[in-house]
Amino acid sequence: NAGVTQTPKFQVLKTGQSMTLQCAQDMNHEYMSWYRQDPGMGLRLIHYSVGAGITDQGEVPNGYNVSRSTTEDFPLRLLSAAPSQTSVYFCASRGGGKTQYFGPGTRLLVL
């Protein structure tokens, strides 16, 4: 049982490049979310999913796309990276309870 896994751990992009941050969970959780963490801002919700095929926007969705084709995976796509997207990204999942389980994070630097 690996919990929530994220890849890559660290990534450097140039402005305008695209990439996908991967997130997977093996706990059969319905709910999955993406957050970004910025200094002095805490964590802010980007997108979330309440089940396969269902996604919705969080607090800061602009510049990010998501899809949920399986229960296990919830990738986050940056279509055209911008320096403002430099951040640490966390994926989380939860089952029927209220506790969310977080992945180890992906540190992204956009030059």
Partner 1 sequence: GDSVTQMEGPVTLSEEAFLTINCTYTATGYPSLFWYVQYPGEGLQLLLKATKADDKGSNKGFEATYRKETTSFHLEKGSVQVSDSAVYFCALSHSGGGADGLTFGKGTHLIIQP
Which residues contact partner 1 (rule: CB under 8 A)? 31, 33, 35, 40-45, 48, 50, 56, 58, 90, 92, 94, 98-105
For β-strands 42-51 and 54-57, DSSP reports them as antiparallel
Q: Smallest distance, Å, CB 16 to partner 1?
A: 29
Q: Is 45 or 52 the residue whose CB approaches partner 1 more closely?
A: 45
Alpha-carbon separation of residue 41 from 13, 89, 104 (angstroms):
22, 13, 19
Q: Is 77 or 107 the residue whose CB approaches partner 1 more closely?
A: 107
Q: Is 23 or 110 the residue whose CB approaches partner 1 more closely?
A: 23
DSSP code, position 25:
E
CA distance 49 to 67: 8
Q: Smallest distance, Å, CB 63 to partner 1?
A: 18
For β-strands 42-51 and 31-38, DSSP reports them as antiparallel
Q: Smallest distance, Å, CB 45 to partner 1?
A: 4
Q: Smallest distance, Å, CB 75 to partner 1?
A: 17
CB-neighbour burial class of residue 101 (10 A; exposed 0-12, middle 13-18, buried 19+) = middle
Q: Is 17 or 61 the residue whose CB approaches partner 1 more closely?
A: 61
